[in-house]
Amino acid sequence: MTYRPKAYPKQAIIHFFYVRLFKLVVFQIDPERIHDIMVAFGESLGRYGVMRRITAFLFDFQHPALAQRIRGIDFRNPVGLSGGFDKNGRLTDILPEVGFGFMEIGSITGDRCEGNPKPRMWRLKKSKSLLVHYGLNNRGARAIARRLQGRVFRIPVGINIAKTNNQETVAKEAGAADYLRAYREMRHIGDYVTINISCPNAYGGCPFTDKDYLEYLLTELATVPKTKPVFIKLSPDLTHREIDDIIALARRFNLDGFVCSNLTKPRENPRIFDTDFPDYGGMSGKIVDDLSDRLIEYVFRQTGKEFVIIGVGGIFSSEDAYRKIRKGASLVQLITGMVFEGPQLISAINRGLVDMLERDGYRNIAEAVGADVRRG
Ligand SMILES: Cc1cc2nc3c(=O)[nH]c(=O)nc-3n(C[C@H](O)[C@H](O)[C@H](O)COP(=O)(O)O)c2cc1C
């Protein structure tokens, strides 16, 4: 059944201003520059109570039907910020006011990392996608841990870790040691950990999607007492065989779930409508939407509710989020939808989810998880 979003005046006005005015100007400027400005702006808004209250008045929406307790963590709604937008954990004070149910910081690497040379992000407007070649730029685990130590967060915070992007960390032992450094430094911060093994932009590719490498990495991480749920972030470009191997390791090492998915790399994708862009980098948004849906469904079919799935890739509306939930995601995340549609998208998705749950006779979002997938 198609869903007709109800009209919410405040949301519609913000959307109008964002898409018709703000975006027209901002989309003329280099995307990384705008990203940096938005993070700095969000961080300064978060410092002042009055600005936080105004932000909440404009954007926040919560509803009891959206609340879930997952692996001991209370999520007030299922919509989170995906890894890569707030790389250094600067937005923890403002994102709750924007209406997010949770957020992921990072990717954070063992050492400080400058990332790849600029330019390293492009807008693929016709495809509603971002082409990203950042290469894991962040301040490094120690500096980020120092700044966030002892902070109380108003929404659950995921710590997304990766290995420093350089030649040295391609080797199994050095790569695992780098992950381990980030894991250790961040162990007392945040509510869950995501191990990012699927960044398409790091030197040497994604060696830790290989089962021997991953087994070695998980063995190393298991030397640190587990204090919070651990997820693995998967690439949408994996074969079923590779996914099965990763699931088997996740079982063996008692992990909690999967983030499905990261950026996609292959250019043979029917959702690409732009031409003339670099042949390196990973693509987000609508280009990865179907691939992420298929990955969620596949993992859910294989594992059911044994693992928690966080669905991410191409969420631009409440229908997109609901579809991923019905395919097996308990939580969802986004970046690109917010960049193209505006920050009111978070409350628009949450309102839409409440309407669709009511339409379908569910009392809580958890009842809809995996509703479209037949297992067995
Ligand atoms: C600008 C940008 C930077 C990203 N950086 C990271 C990162 O550091 N770590 C990570 O796990 N994913 C990163 N991603 C991938 C996103 O977390 C997400 O998996 C992907 O963009 C699909 O979601 P979307 O279509 O809602 O953007 C990045 C994505 C974007 C657009």
From the CA of 361, how far away is ligand 1's center (Å)? 33
The secondary structure of residue 82, as a DSSP letter, is: P
- Mean pLDDT, the chain, integer: 96
| Residue 239 neighbours by CB distance under 10 Å | 8
> Could you tell me the CATH superfamily of domain 9-368?
Aldolase class I (3.20.20.70)
The closest residue, in CA terms, to atom 18 on ligand 1 is 262
The secondary element (H helix, E strand) that includes residue 354 is helix 345-359
**β strands within the chain, DSSP E:** 68-70, 73-75, 79-81, 102-109, 121-124, 129-132, 157-162, 192-196, 230-234, 257-260, 282-283, 308-312, 331-334
Query: How much is the pLDDT for 1?
Result: 62
From the CA of 262, how far away is ligand 1's center (Å)? 6
Half-sphere exposure of 339 (CA within 13 A, CB side): 31
Query: How much is the pLDDT for 58?
Result: 95
What is the 3-state composition of the chain as percent helix, strand, coil, each rounded to the nearest 5?
45, 15, 40
Report whether residue 31 contacts ligand 1, using a CB cutoff of 6 Å: no
From the CA of 284, how far away is ligand 1's center (Å)? 7
The closest-lying atom of ligand 1 relative to the alpha carbon of residue 285 is 25
CA distance 328 to 322: 10
Tens digit of pLDDT at every position of the chain (376 positions): 677 777 788 999 999 999 999 999 999 999 999 999 999 999 999 999 999 999 999 999 999 999 999 999 999 999 999 999 999 999 999 999 999 999 999 999 999 999 999 999 999 999 999 999 999 999 999 999 999 999 999 999 999 999 999 999 999 999 999 999 999 999 999 999 999 999 888 888 888 999 999 999 999 999 999 999 999 999 999 999 999 999 999 999 999 999 999 999 999 999 999 999 999 999 999 999 999 999 999 999 999 999 999 999 999 999 999 999 999 999 999 999 999 999 999 999 999 999 999 999 999 999 999 999 976 6
Query: How much is the pLDDT for 291?
Result: 98
Report whether residue 262 contacts ligand 1, using a CB cutoff of 6 Å: yes
Query: How much is the pLDDT for 3?
Result: 76
Report whether residue 312 contacts ligand 1, using a CB cutoff of 6 Å: yes
The closest residue, in CA terms, to atom 22 on ligand 1 is 313
Q: Do residues 300 and 370 lie in contact, with contact meaning Cβ atoms separated by under 8 Å?
A: yes
Report whether residue 339 contacts ligand 1, using a CB cutoff of 6 Å: no
The closest residue, in CA terms, to atom 11 on ligand 1 is 83
Amino acid present at 368: A
SS3 state of residue 138: strand
Query: How much is the pLDDT for 361?
Result: 97
Which residue carries 């008692």 as its tokens?
Answer: 254
Which tokens is 360 given?
Answer: 């379908």
Which tokens is 43 given?
Answer: 């961080």
From the CA of 61, how far away is ligand 1's center (Å)? 24
Pocket probe mutation, ligand 1, options 284, 323, 333, max atoms within 8 Å of Cβ: 284
Amino acid present at 28: Q
Which tokens is 185 given?
Answer: 């430094």
**β strands within 217-355, DSSP E:** 230-234, 257-260, 282-283, 308-312, 331-334
- Rounded to the nearest 10°, the torsion over CA 320, 326, 328, 331 is 50
The closest-lying atom of ligand 1 relative to the alpha carbon of residue 338 is 26
Query: How much is the pLDDT for 375?
Result: 67
Q: Is 199 a catalytic residue?
A: yes
The closest-lying atom of ligand 1 relative to the alpha carbon of residue 334 is 26
Report whether residue 350 contacts ligand 1, using a CB cutoff of 6 Å: no
CA distance 350 to 352: 5
| Residue 149 neighbours by CB distance under 10 Å | 11
Q: Do residues 117 and 362 lie in contact, with contact meaning Cβ atoms separated by under 8 Å?
A: no
Report whether residue 263 contacts ligand 1, using a CB cutoff of 6 Å: yes
